[in-house]
A and B are shown apart, each in its own frame.
Chain A
Amino acid sequence: MDGGPAQPMIQLFHVYKAYPGDPPSLSDINLTIGKGEFVFLTGPSGAGKTTLLKLIMCAEKATRGQILVGGRNIARIRESAVPYLRRNVGVVFQDFKLLPHRTVADNVAFTLDVLGVPRAECRERVMRMLKQVGLDHKASSLPLRLSGGEQQRVVIARALVNDPTILLADEPTGNLDPALTLEIMDLLNDVNVRGATVVVATHDATLLERLGHRTLRLERGRVVSDEDGIKAARRMAAG
Protein backbone atom coordinates (compact mmCIF):
# COMPACT_ATOMS: atom_id res chain seq x y z
CA MET A 1 0.00 0.00 0.00
CA ASP A 2 2.97 2.29 0.00
CA GLY A 3 2.99 2.73 -3.74
CA GLY A 4 0.80 5.83 -3.44
CA PRO A 5 -2.94 6.17 -3.30
CA ALA A 6 -4.58 4.84 -6.46
CA GLN A 7 -8.16 5.77 -5.64
CA PRO A 8 -8.87 8.43 -3.01
CA MET A 9 -10.94 7.32 -0.01
CA ILE A 10 -10.51 10.36 2.25
CA GLN A 11 -9.81 13.85 0.88
CA LEU A 12 -9.55 17.12 2.77
CA PHE A 13 -9.40 20.49 0.99
CA HIS A 14 -8.51 23.62 2.95
CA VAL A 15 -10.15 22.31 6.09
CA TYR A 16 -10.32 24.51 9.18
CA LYS A 17 -11.72 23.72 12.56
CA ALA A 18 -12.00 26.26 15.34
CA TYR A 19 -13.83 26.19 18.67
CA PRO A 20 -15.18 29.48 20.01
CA GLY A 21 -12.63 31.29 22.12
CA ASP A 22 -9.74 28.94 21.23
CA PRO A 23 -7.06 29.12 18.56
CA PRO A 24 -7.90 26.97 15.49
CA SER A 25 -7.52 23.23 16.11
CA LEU A 26 -6.95 22.62 12.42
CA SER A 27 -5.77 25.12 9.82
CA ASP A 28 -5.79 24.69 6.07
CA ILE A 29 -5.52 20.91 6.02
CA ASN A 30 -5.11 19.42 2.56
CA LEU A 31 -4.56 15.69 2.23
CA THR A 32 -5.60 12.60 0.36
CA ILE A 33 -5.69 9.08 1.76
CA GLY A 34 -6.10 6.33 -0.81
CA LYS A 35 -8.37 3.33 -0.71
CA GLY A 36 -6.74 0.48 1.21
CA GLU A 37 -3.96 2.72 2.53
CA PHE A 38 -2.56 2.57 6.10
CA VAL A 39 -1.76 6.03 7.42
CA PHE A 40 -0.42 7.18 10.76
CA LEU A 41 -1.32 10.59 12.15
CA THR A 42 1.31 11.75 14.56
CA GLY A 43 2.28 14.86 16.44
CA PRO A 44 2.34 16.22 19.97
CA SER A 45 -0.74 16.37 22.19
CA GLY A 46 -3.12 19.10 21.04
CA ALA A 47 -1.77 19.00 17.48
CA GLY A 48 -5.24 18.22 16.09
CA LYS A 49 -5.04 14.43 15.50
CA THR A 50 -8.24 13.59 17.37
CA THR A 51 -10.06 16.57 15.85
CA LEU A 52 -9.09 15.38 12.38
CA LEU A 53 -10.44 11.88 13.11
CA LYS A 54 -13.64 13.40 14.52
CA LEU A 55 -14.16 15.36 11.31
CA ILE A 56 -13.74 12.21 9.22
CA MET A 57 -16.25 10.27 11.33
CA CYS A 58 -18.68 13.24 11.29
CA ALA A 59 -18.56 13.64 15.06
CA GLU A 60 -17.64 17.28 14.44
CA LYS A 61 -18.28 19.68 11.58
CA ALA A 62 -15.50 21.55 9.85
CA THR A 63 -15.58 25.32 10.27
CA ARG A 64 -14.44 25.70 6.66
CA GLY A 65 -13.31 23.53 3.77
CA GLN A 66 -14.46 20.33 2.11
CA ILE A 67 -14.08 16.74 3.28
CA LEU A 68 -14.79 13.87 0.92
CA VAL A 69 -15.19 10.37 2.31
CA GLY A 70 -15.75 7.66 -0.28
CA GLY A 71 -16.52 10.44 -2.77
CA ARG A 72 -19.24 12.04 -0.57
CA ASN A 73 -18.78 15.58 0.63
CA ILE A 74 -19.46 15.25 4.33
CA ALA A 75 -19.19 18.98 4.92
CA ARG A 76 -22.47 19.32 3.06
CA ILE A 77 -24.10 16.09 4.11
CA ARG A 78 -27.57 16.20 5.65
CA GLU A 79 -27.71 15.39 9.37
CA SER A 80 -30.03 12.46 8.69
CA ALA A 81 -27.48 10.89 6.31
CA VAL A 82 -24.64 10.88 8.85
CA PRO A 83 -25.61 7.55 10.50
CA TYR A 84 -25.46 5.76 7.15
CA LEU A 85 -21.98 7.16 6.50
CA ARG A 86 -20.79 6.09 9.95
CA ARG A 87 -21.81 2.50 9.24
CA ASN A 88 -18.88 2.34 6.82
CA VAL A 89 -16.46 3.78 9.33
CA GLY A 90 -15.20 1.66 12.21
CA VAL A 91 -13.81 3.64 15.12
CA VAL A 92 -11.39 2.51 17.84
CA PHE A 93 -11.37 4.91 20.77
CA GLN A 94 -8.49 5.52 23.11
CA ASP A 95 -10.87 5.35 26.09
CA PHE A 96 -12.50 2.16 24.70
CA LYS A 97 -16.10 3.34 25.17
CA LEU A 98 -17.28 -0.12 26.18
CA LEU A 99 -20.55 -0.58 28.05
CA PRO A 100 -19.55 -1.99 31.44
CA HIS A 101 -22.82 -3.77 32.21
CA ARG A 102 -22.96 -5.59 28.87
CA THR A 103 -20.99 -8.68 27.98
CA VAL A 104 -18.14 -8.66 25.50
CA ALA A 105 -20.40 -10.32 22.90
CA ASP A 106 -23.15 -7.73 23.48
CA ASN A 107 -20.67 -4.88 23.13
CA VAL A 108 -19.46 -6.23 19.80
CA ALA A 109 -23.03 -6.95 18.69
CA PHE A 110 -23.94 -3.29 19.27
CA THR A 111 -22.83 -2.34 15.76
CA LEU A 112 -24.90 -5.11 14.17
CA ASP A 113 -27.98 -4.32 16.31
CA VAL A 114 -28.01 -0.85 14.79
CA LEU A 115 -28.13 -2.42 11.32
CA GLY A 116 -30.99 -4.72 12.28
CA VAL A 117 -29.01 -7.90 11.68
CA PRO A 118 -31.10 -10.90 12.82
CA ARG A 119 -30.12 -12.31 16.22
CA ALA A 120 -28.80 -15.67 14.99
CA GLU A 121 -26.66 -14.11 12.24
CA CYS A 122 -25.51 -11.44 14.67
CA ARG A 123 -24.34 -14.06 17.18
CA GLU A 124 -22.49 -15.97 14.48
CA ARG A 125 -20.70 -12.86 13.17
CA VAL A 126 -19.83 -11.68 16.67
CA MET A 127 -18.30 -15.04 17.58
CA ARG A 128 -16.35 -15.13 14.31
CA MET A 129 -15.02 -11.63 15.01
CA LEU A 130 -14.14 -12.45 18.61
CA LYS A 131 -12.26 -15.51 17.37
CA GLN A 132 -10.26 -13.31 15.01
CA VAL A 133 -9.19 -11.08 17.87
CA GLY A 134 -8.59 -14.10 20.11
CA LEU A 135 -11.38 -13.40 22.58
CA ASP A 136 -14.03 -15.97 21.72
CA HIS A 137 -13.53 -17.60 25.11
CA LYS A 138 -14.36 -14.29 26.84
CA ALA A 139 -17.64 -13.66 24.99
CA SER A 140 -19.72 -13.83 28.16
CA SER A 141 -17.35 -11.80 30.32
CA LEU A 142 -17.97 -8.21 31.32
CA PRO A 143 -15.43 -5.71 29.92
CA LEU A 144 -14.18 -4.62 33.34
CA ARG A 145 -12.95 -8.17 34.00
CA LEU A 146 -10.64 -7.98 30.98
CA SER A 147 -7.13 -6.58 30.76
CA GLY A 148 -6.45 -3.30 28.93
CA GLY A 149 -5.22 -5.14 25.85
CA GLU A 150 -8.24 -7.41 25.82
CA GLN A 151 -10.58 -4.46 26.16
CA GLN A 152 -8.86 -2.77 23.24
CA ARG A 153 -9.31 -5.93 21.18
CA VAL A 154 -13.03 -5.90 22.01
CA VAL A 155 -13.20 -2.33 20.74
CA ILE A 156 -11.44 -3.39 17.55
CA ALA A 157 -13.84 -6.31 17.16
CA ARG A 158 -16.78 -3.91 17.57
CA ALA A 159 -15.30 -1.58 14.97
CA LEU A 160 -14.67 -4.39 12.47
CA VAL A 161 -17.66 -6.71 12.90
CA ASN A 162 -19.53 -4.66 10.35
CA ASP A 163 -16.71 -4.94 7.72
CA PRO A 164 -16.22 -1.17 7.41
CA THR A 165 -14.30 0.28 4.49
CA ILE A 166 -12.51 2.73 6.78
CA LEU A 167 -11.05 2.12 10.22
CA LEU A 168 -10.12 5.10 12.39
CA ALA A 169 -8.14 4.46 15.56
CA ASP A 170 -7.35 7.15 18.11
CA GLU A 171 -4.26 6.21 20.13
CA PRO A 172 -5.30 2.54 20.12
CA THR A 173 -2.17 1.49 21.98
CA GLY A 174 -1.91 4.51 24.27
CA ASN A 175 -2.54 2.55 27.47
CA LEU A 176 -0.85 -0.70 26.51
CA ASP A 177 2.54 -2.26 27.19
CA PRO A 178 4.87 -2.88 24.20
CA ALA A 179 3.86 -6.53 23.73
CA LEU A 180 0.16 -5.70 23.65
CA THR A 181 0.87 -2.70 21.42
CA LEU A 182 2.37 -4.98 18.78
CA GLU A 183 -0.52 -7.41 19.12
CA ILE A 184 -3.04 -4.62 18.45
CA MET A 185 -1.01 -3.24 15.55
CA ASP A 186 -0.87 -6.70 13.99
CA LEU A 187 -4.65 -6.78 14.13
CA LEU A 188 -4.95 -3.37 12.45
CA ASN A 189 -2.45 -4.47 9.82
CA ASP A 190 -4.54 -7.57 9.09
CA VAL A 191 -7.58 -5.39 8.60
CA ASN A 192 -5.63 -3.22 6.18
CA VAL A 193 -4.36 -6.25 4.28
CA ARG A 194 -7.98 -7.34 3.84
CA GLY A 195 -8.67 -4.03 2.05
CA ALA A 196 -9.81 -1.50 4.63
CA THR A 197 -8.38 2.00 4.75
CA VAL A 198 -6.80 2.45 8.17
CA VAL A 199 -5.97 5.77 9.84
CA VAL A 200 -4.23 5.55 13.22
CA ALA A 201 -3.46 8.49 15.46
CA THR A 202 -0.40 7.83 17.61
CA HIS A 203 2.61 9.56 19.09
CA ASP A 204 4.53 6.29 19.48
CA ALA A 205 7.66 6.70 17.30
CA THR A 206 8.62 3.02 17.61
CA LEU A 207 5.39 2.03 15.92
CA LEU A 208 6.01 4.37 13.01
CA GLU A 209 9.49 3.00 12.51
CA ARG A 210 8.51 -0.63 12.93
CA LEU A 211 5.57 -0.56 10.49
CA GLY A 212 6.96 2.04 8.11
CA HIS A 213 3.56 3.21 6.85
CA ARG A 214 2.87 6.66 5.47
CA THR A 215 2.91 9.17 8.33
CA LEU A 216 1.31 12.59 8.46
CA ARG A 217 2.73 14.81 11.16
CA LEU A 218 0.50 17.49 12.62
CA GLU A 219 1.71 20.46 14.62
CA ARG A 220 -0.55 23.24 15.90
CA GLY A 221 -3.34 22.15 13.61
CA ARG A 222 -1.27 22.00 10.42
CA VAL A 223 0.23 19.11 8.44
CA VAL A 224 3.96 19.74 8.67
CA SER A 225 5.21 16.57 7.00
CA ASP A 226 3.96 13.67 4.91
CA GLU A 227 6.56 10.88 4.67
CA ASP A 228 7.09 7.20 5.39
CA GLY A 229 7.17 5.99 8.98
CA ILE A 230 10.91 5.38 9.18
CA LYS A 231 11.79 8.93 8.20
CA ALA A 232 9.08 10.28 10.49
CA ALA A 233 10.39 8.24 13.41
CA ARG A 234 13.95 9.45 12.80
CA ARG A 235 12.77 13.04 12.60
CA MET A 236 10.90 12.59 15.92
CA ALA A 237 13.97 11.02 17.50
CA ALA A 238 16.16 13.87 16.24
CA GLY A 239 14.01 16.68 17.48
Chain B
Amino acid sequence: MSVLAKGTYFWRSAAQGVRHAPFVHFIAVVTIAIALFTAGMARGLWQLLDSLIATLGGQVELTVYLDQAAAGWRAEEVAQALRSQSGLDAHVVPPEEAMARLKLQLGELGSALDGLPENPLPRTVELTIPAGQRTPEQMKALAEQARALPGVTAVDYGEEAVQRLSSIASAARAGGLLASLVVAIATIVIVSATLQLAIYSRREEIEIQKLVGATDRFVKAPFLIEGVLQGLLGALCAAGGLWAFAAFAGPPLQSLFSFLLGPHGGPQLVTAGLVAELFGAGAALGLCGSFVAVGRFLRV
Protein backbone atom coordinates (compact mmCIF):
# COMPACT_ATOMS: atom_id res chain seq x y z
CA MET B 1 0.00 0.00 0.00
CA SER B 2 2.72 2.36 1.05
CA VAL B 3 4.98 1.35 -1.84
CA LEU B 4 2.16 1.91 -4.33
CA ALA B 5 1.36 5.29 -2.79
CA LYS B 6 5.02 6.29 -2.91
CA GLY B 7 5.36 5.09 -6.50
CA THR B 8 2.29 7.11 -7.48
CA TYR B 9 3.72 10.12 -5.67
CA PHE B 10 7.08 9.79 -7.47
CA TRP B 11 5.46 9.71 -10.93
CA ARG B 12 3.09 12.55 -10.01
CA SER B 13 5.98 14.60 -8.67
CA ALA B 14 8.09 13.88 -11.78
CA ALA B 15 5.22 14.91 -14.07
CA GLN B 16 4.79 18.10 -12.00
CA GLY B 17 8.51 18.75 -12.36
CA VAL B 18 8.22 18.48 -16.14
CA ARG B 19 5.19 20.81 -16.11
CA HIS B 20 6.92 23.42 -13.95
CA ALA B 21 10.08 23.66 -16.06
CA PRO B 22 8.87 22.80 -19.58
CA PHE B 23 11.62 24.62 -21.48
CA VAL B 24 14.43 22.94 -19.58
CA HIS B 25 12.87 19.54 -20.14
CA PHE B 26 12.14 20.39 -23.78
CA ILE B 27 15.86 20.95 -24.38
CA ALA B 28 16.70 17.59 -22.83
CA VAL B 29 13.99 15.81 -24.83
CA VAL B 30 15.16 17.39 -28.10
CA THR B 31 18.78 16.46 -27.33
CA ILE B 32 17.83 12.85 -26.64
CA ALA B 33 15.60 12.77 -29.73
CA ILE B 34 18.44 14.03 -31.98
CA ALA B 35 20.88 11.51 -30.49
CA LEU B 36 18.43 8.62 -30.94
CA PHE B 37 17.38 9.74 -34.43
CA THR B 38 21.05 9.82 -35.47
CA ALA B 39 21.65 6.41 -33.91
CA GLY B 40 18.54 5.04 -35.67
CA MET B 41 19.75 6.38 -39.03
CA ALA B 42 23.23 4.92 -38.41
CA ARG B 43 21.63 1.58 -37.58
CA GLY B 44 19.61 1.77 -40.80
CA LEU B 45 22.79 2.48 -42.76
CA TRP B 46 24.55 -0.52 -41.21
CA GLN B 47 21.60 -2.72 -42.07
CA LEU B 48 21.69 -1.41 -45.63
CA LEU B 49 25.40 -2.21 -45.94
CA ASP B 50 24.81 -5.68 -44.48
CA SER B 51 22.03 -6.29 -46.95
CA LEU B 52 24.21 -5.03 -49.79
CA ILE B 53 26.98 -7.40 -48.78
CA ALA B 54 24.48 -10.27 -48.62
CA THR B 55 23.11 -9.35 -52.06
CA LEU B 56 26.57 -9.14 -53.64
CA GLY B 57 27.76 -12.13 -51.66
CA GLY B 58 24.91 -14.22 -53.04
CA GLN B 59 26.23 -13.54 -56.52
CA VAL B 60 29.77 -14.64 -55.80
CA GLU B 61 30.96 -16.92 -58.46
CA LEU B 62 34.23 -17.88 -60.04
CA THR B 63 34.38 -17.11 -63.74
CA VAL B 64 36.85 -19.08 -65.82
CA TYR B 65 37.72 -17.50 -69.19
CA LEU B 66 38.68 -19.83 -72.00
CA ASP B 67 40.79 -19.25 -75.05
CA GLN B 68 38.92 -17.41 -77.80
CA ALA B 69 39.39 -20.40 -80.03
CA ALA B 70 38.25 -22.99 -77.48
CA ALA B 71 35.42 -25.09 -78.78
CA GLY B 72 32.28 -26.01 -76.87
CA TRP B 73 33.53 -29.49 -76.04
CA ARG B 74 36.68 -27.97 -74.46
CA ALA B 75 34.51 -25.76 -72.29
CA GLU B 76 32.44 -28.77 -71.21
CA GLU B 77 35.66 -30.61 -70.30
CA VAL B 78 36.81 -27.68 -68.14
CA ALA B 79 33.39 -27.50 -66.46
CA GLN B 80 33.43 -31.25 -65.82
CA ALA B 81 36.97 -31.06 -64.38
CA LEU B 82 35.97 -28.22 -62.07
CA ARG B 83 32.85 -30.06 -60.92
CA SER B 84 34.83 -33.17 -60.07
CA GLN B 85 37.66 -31.24 -58.36
CA SER B 86 35.51 -28.92 -56.26
CA GLY B 87 32.19 -30.75 -56.06
CA LEU B 88 30.49 -27.46 -56.96
CA ASP B 89 28.06 -26.54 -59.68
CA ALA B 90 29.80 -25.38 -62.87
CA HIS B 91 28.14 -24.47 -66.12
CA VAL B 92 29.29 -23.24 -69.50
CA VAL B 93 28.28 -19.81 -70.72
CA PRO B 94 28.51 -19.66 -74.52
CA PRO B 95 29.57 -16.37 -76.19
CA GLU B 96 26.01 -15.74 -77.40
CA GLU B 97 24.64 -15.87 -73.84
CA ALA B 98 27.49 -13.67 -72.58
CA MET B 99 26.67 -11.12 -75.30
CA ALA B 100 22.97 -11.23 -74.42
CA ARG B 101 23.80 -10.58 -70.76
CA LEU B 102 26.07 -7.68 -71.65
CA LYS B 103 23.37 -6.11 -73.81
CA LEU B 104 20.91 -6.43 -70.94
CA GLN B 105 23.33 -4.77 -68.55
CA LEU B 106 24.05 -1.92 -70.93
CA GLY B 107 20.34 -1.28 -71.48
CA GLU B 108 19.72 1.27 -74.23
CA LEU B 109 23.42 1.37 -75.06
CA GLY B 110 23.36 -2.37 -75.72
CA SER B 111 22.20 -1.80 -79.32
CA ALA B 112 25.67 -0.42 -80.09
CA LEU B 113 26.96 -3.97 -79.80
CA ASP B 114 24.91 -4.96 -82.83
CA GLY B 115 27.42 -3.19 -85.04
CA LEU B 116 30.28 -5.49 -84.08
CA PRO B 117 31.54 -7.64 -86.97
CA GLU B 118 31.74 -10.70 -84.67
CA ASN B 119 31.12 -11.62 -81.03
CA PRO B 120 34.42 -10.87 -79.24
CA LEU B 121 33.38 -12.54 -75.98
CA PRO B 122 35.09 -15.81 -75.09
CA ARG B 123 33.39 -18.92 -73.84
CA THR B 124 33.38 -19.03 -70.02
CA VAL B 125 32.64 -21.50 -67.23
CA GLU B 126 30.87 -20.16 -64.12
CA LEU B 127 31.38 -21.85 -60.80
CA THR B 128 28.84 -20.90 -58.10
CA ILE B 129 30.44 -20.75 -54.65
CA PRO B 130 28.30 -21.58 -51.62
CA ALA B 131 28.44 -19.03 -48.75
CA GLY B 132 30.43 -21.36 -46.48
CA GLN B 133 33.28 -21.71 -48.97
CA ARG B 134 33.86 -18.02 -49.74
CA THR B 135 36.98 -17.64 -47.66
CA PRO B 136 39.86 -15.91 -49.46
CA GLU B 137 42.01 -19.08 -49.14
CA GLN B 138 39.42 -21.39 -50.67
CA MET B 139 38.66 -18.97 -53.48
CA LYS B 140 42.36 -18.68 -54.25
CA ALA B 141 42.84 -22.47 -54.27
CA LEU B 142 39.88 -22.92 -56.62
CA ALA B 143 41.24 -20.22 -58.93
CA GLU B 144 44.66 -21.97 -59.00
CA GLN B 145 43.03 -25.28 -59.87
CA ALA B 146 41.07 -23.64 -62.70
CA ARG B 147 44.09 -21.83 -64.08
CA ALA B 148 45.96 -25.14 -64.40
CA LEU B 149 43.31 -26.58 -66.73
CA PRO B 150 44.05 -26.56 -70.49
CA GLY B 151 42.51 -23.74 -72.53
CA VAL B 152 41.98 -21.46 -69.51
CA THR B 153 43.30 -17.95 -70.05
CA ALA B 154 42.05 -16.13 -66.96
CA VAL B 155 40.12 -16.62 -63.72
CA ASP B 156 38.14 -13.91 -61.98
CA TYR B 157 36.06 -13.81 -58.82
CA GLY B 158 34.25 -10.89 -57.14
CA GLU B 159 35.40 -11.71 -53.65
CA GLU B 160 37.70 -8.74 -53.59
CA ALA B 161 34.80 -6.35 -54.03
CA VAL B 162 32.85 -8.11 -51.30
CA GLN B 163 35.82 -7.96 -48.97
CA ARG B 164 36.24 -4.26 -49.67
CA LEU B 165 32.57 -3.66 -48.96
CA SER B 166 32.90 -5.74 -45.80
CA SER B 167 35.84 -3.62 -44.66
CA ILE B 168 33.89 -0.44 -45.40
CA ALA B 169 30.93 -1.78 -43.40
CA SER B 170 33.21 -2.73 -40.49
CA ALA B 171 34.86 0.69 -40.52
CA ALA B 172 31.45 2.37 -40.72
CA ARG B 173 30.25 0.24 -37.80
CA ALA B 174 33.32 1.05 -35.67
CA GLY B 175 33.09 4.75 -36.54
CA GLY B 176 29.37 4.72 -35.86
CA LEU B 177 29.87 3.06 -32.48
CA LEU B 178 32.49 5.63 -31.53
CA ALA B 179 30.28 8.49 -32.71
CA SER B 180 27.30 6.99 -30.83
CA LEU B 181 29.40 6.80 -27.68
CA VAL B 182 30.42 10.46 -28.01
CA VAL B 183 26.81 11.49 -28.73
CA ALA B 184 25.59 9.41 -25.76
CA ILE B 185 28.09 11.05 -23.39
CA ALA B 186 27.20 14.51 -24.71
CA THR B 187 23.51 13.70 -24.27
CA ILE B 188 24.06 12.53 -20.70
CA VAL B 189 25.94 15.76 -19.93
CA ILE B 190 23.12 17.90 -21.38
CA VAL B 191 20.39 15.90 -19.63
CA SER B 192 22.25 16.13 -16.33
CA ALA B 193 22.67 19.91 -16.81
CA THR B 194 18.94 20.36 -17.41
CA LEU B 195 18.12 18.28 -14.35
CA GLN B 196 20.58 20.32 -12.34
CA LEU B 197 18.43 23.35 -13.18
CA ALA B 198 15.30 21.40 -12.21
CA ILE B 199 16.89 20.46 -8.89
CA TYR B 200 17.92 24.06 -8.30
CA SER B 201 14.43 25.35 -9.00
CA ARG B 202 13.00 22.89 -6.47
CA ARG B 203 15.61 23.34 -3.73
CA GLU B 204 13.00 24.80 -1.37
CA GLU B 205 10.76 21.79 -1.83
CA ILE B 206 13.70 19.45 -1.27
CA GLU B 207 14.62 21.28 1.94
CA ILE B 208 11.07 20.91 3.28
CA GLN B 209 10.93 17.28 2.24
CA LYS B 210 14.08 16.61 4.22
CA LEU B 211 12.75 18.47 7.23
CA VAL B 212 9.54 16.44 7.32
CA GLY B 213 11.45 13.16 7.20
CA ALA B 214 12.03 12.26 3.54
CA THR B 215 14.84 9.80 2.93
CA ASP B 216 17.53 10.50 0.32
CA ARG B 217 15.98 7.94 -1.99
CA PHE B 218 12.57 9.57 -1.64
CA VAL B 219 13.99 12.96 -2.63
CA LYS B 220 16.00 11.57 -5.53
CA ALA B 221 13.43 9.20 -7.06
CA PRO B 222 11.26 11.84 -8.82
CA PHE B 223 14.35 13.33 -10.50
CA LEU B 224 15.44 9.90 -11.74
CA ILE B 225 11.92 9.36 -13.09
CA GLU B 226 12.07 12.79 -14.76
CA GLY B 227 15.21 11.63 -16.55
CA VAL B 228 13.46 8.44 -17.69
CA LEU B 229 10.44 10.48 -18.84
CA GLN B 230 12.73 12.76 -20.85
CA GLY B 231 14.34 9.69 -22.41
CA LEU B 232 11.01 8.10 -23.32
CA LEU B 233 9.69 11.33 -24.82
CA GLY B 234 12.94 11.76 -26.75
CA ALA B 235 12.62 8.17 -28.03
CA LEU B 236 9.04 8.85 -29.10
CA CYS B 237 10.17 11.90 -31.09
CA ALA B 238 13.09 9.99 -32.62
CA ALA B 239 10.82 7.08 -33.63
CA GLY B 240 8.39 9.58 -35.17
CA GLY B 241 11.24 11.28 -37.05
CA LEU B 242 12.57 7.97 -38.38
CA TRP B 243 9.08 6.90 -39.40
CA ALA B 244 8.57 10.19 -41.24
CA PHE B 245 11.96 9.82 -42.94
CA ALA B 246 11.16 6.24 -43.99
CA ALA B 247 7.71 7.26 -45.24
CA PHE B 248 8.74 10.33 -47.24
CA ALA B 249 12.40 9.84 -48.20
CA GLY B 250 12.41 6.03 -48.31
CA PRO B 251 10.59 5.35 -51.63
CA PRO B 252 12.62 7.83 -53.75
CA LEU B 253 15.89 6.57 -52.25
CA GLN B 254 14.87 2.97 -52.82
CA SER B 255 14.09 3.58 -56.49
CA LEU B 256 17.35 5.52 -56.86
CA PHE B 257 19.43 2.61 -55.54
CA SER B 258 17.25 -0.25 -56.80
CA PHE B 259 20.13 -1.51 -59.02
CA LEU B 260 22.08 -2.21 -55.84
CA LEU B 261 19.28 -3.33 -53.56
CA GLY B 262 17.49 -5.67 -55.95
CA PRO B 263 13.75 -6.05 -56.52
CA HIS B 264 12.88 -6.46 -52.78
CA GLY B 265 14.52 -3.17 -51.84
CA GLY B 266 16.61 -2.52 -48.71
CA PRO B 267 15.77 -3.45 -45.12
CA GLN B 268 12.93 -1.63 -43.33
CA LEU B 269 14.18 1.39 -41.39
CA VAL B 270 11.53 1.44 -38.64
CA THR B 271 10.69 -1.93 -37.12
CA ALA B 272 9.08 -2.90 -33.83
CA GLY B 273 12.52 -4.02 -32.66
CA LEU B 274 14.08 -0.65 -33.48
CA VAL B 275 11.29 1.22 -31.66
CA ALA B 276 11.79 -0.99 -28.59
CA GLU B 277 15.54 -0.34 -28.76
CA LEU B 278 14.97 3.42 -29.09
CA PHE B 279 12.75 3.48 -26.00
CA GLY B 280 15.24 1.35 -24.08
CA ALA B 281 18.17 3.54 -25.11
CA GLY B 282 16.18 6.72 -24.40
CA ALA B 283 15.24 5.57 -20.94
CA ALA B 284 18.85 4.53 -20.28
CA LEU B 285 20.24 7.89 -21.48
CA GLY B 286 17.71 9.83 -19.40
CA LEU B 287 18.36 7.70 -16.35
CA CYS B 288 22.15 8.05 -16.70
CA GLY B 289 21.82 11.84 -17.07
CA SER B 290 19.55 12.14 -14.06
CA PHE B 291 21.79 9.81 -12.08
CA VAL B 292 24.77 12.05 -12.74
CA ALA B 293 22.74 15.18 -11.85
CA VAL B 294 21.35 13.67 -8.66
CA GLY B 295 24.75 12.33 -7.63
CA ARG B 296 26.58 15.59 -8.28
CA PHE B 297 24.06 18.29 -7.41
CA LEU B 298 21.61 16.78 -4.95
CA ARG B 299 23.57 16.71 -1.75
CA VAL B 300 20.76 15.78 0.59
Contacts and interface: CB of A to CB of B under 8 A. Distances in A.
Interface residues of A, number: 24
B10 to A, nearest CB: 10
B204 A83 contact: no
Given A83-B214, A87-B213, A101-B20, A115 B208 contact: no
B9 A97 contact: no
A interface: dominant SS? helix
B119 interface: no
A113 B9 contact: yes
Contacts, number: 58
Instruction: Tell me the interface secondary structure of chain B in the complex.
Output: helix
Interface string B1-39: 111111011000000000010000000000000000000
B204 A97 contact: yes
B8 A114 contact: no
Contact of A99 (B2, B6, B208): B208
Contacts of A114: 209, 212-214, 218
Contacts of A110: 208-209, 212
A80 B215 contact: yes
A129 to B, nearest CB: 14
Given A97-B208, A110-B208, A84 B213 contact: yes
A111 B212 contact: yes
29 contacts: A80-B215, A83-B213, A83-B218, A85-B213, A86-B210, A86-B213, A91-B212, A97-B204, A97-B211, A99-B204, A99-B205, A99-B208, A101-B20, A110-B208, A110-B209, A110-B212, A113-B9, A114-B212, A114-B218, A115-B2, A115-B213, A116-B6, A116-B9, A117-B2, A117-B5, A118-B4, A119-B5, A119-B8, A122-B5
Report, nearest first, the 6 A-B pairs whose CB atoms are least far apart: A116-B2, A87-B213, A86-B213, A116-B6, A114-B214, A111-B212
